[in-house]
Structure 1
Amino acid sequence: MKFAFLIMGNFDMTMDRATIHGGNAQMIGVSDMQEAAAAAKQLCEEGIDCIELCGAFGAEGAKQIIEITENRIPVGYVTHLPEQDEIYKAVFSK
């Protein structure tokens, strides 16, 4: 299975990339939804089997990636338990 994880932040998708397991697992940093859409479309065209998204995408971002990939592959996104809301807020507001 070929798997990709997209992480959103201060990244450049052309440079902020890593692969392991002979390229079957990829991590790509994107700066915004526009880059994420381009990366997801390219990954889908290259035969990726699954895309996971960092929590910054949220449900709406995941829905956009599902639409971009025409619902042909599984797309998930990372979330956390509500009891850690304050911890997440503290860490990601830095």
Structure 2
Amino acid sequence: MDDQTRLELEAAAFRRLRQHLMEDRPDVQNIDLMTLAGFCRNCLSRWYQEAANARGLDMDKDTAREIFYGMPYEDWRAQTQTEASPDQQAAFDKAFRENVGPRD
């Protein structure tokens, strides 16, 4: 497989993952994704931002989230996310430290 084909297939897989998380399964909470998988939608938007920055594009966290979510993050959060229980928050904090690092 040539590099261009590989790149196109990887991009298509990313778009399909985004569609699955944003359109097919918006009911799955970010906190549960992080706890179970070690990443969530915010991680994907951060990786998008990091890739843009690595290529010399000036992109901040809010811009990357708006691109990924298709709307301002706070709007999407208000529409789809529920309040986390204390148990969910504790599990999230542990998963975040293990997979991302200390919280700012």
Q: TM-score with structure 2 length normalisation?
A: 0.28
Bigger share in strand: 1
Bigger share in helix: 2
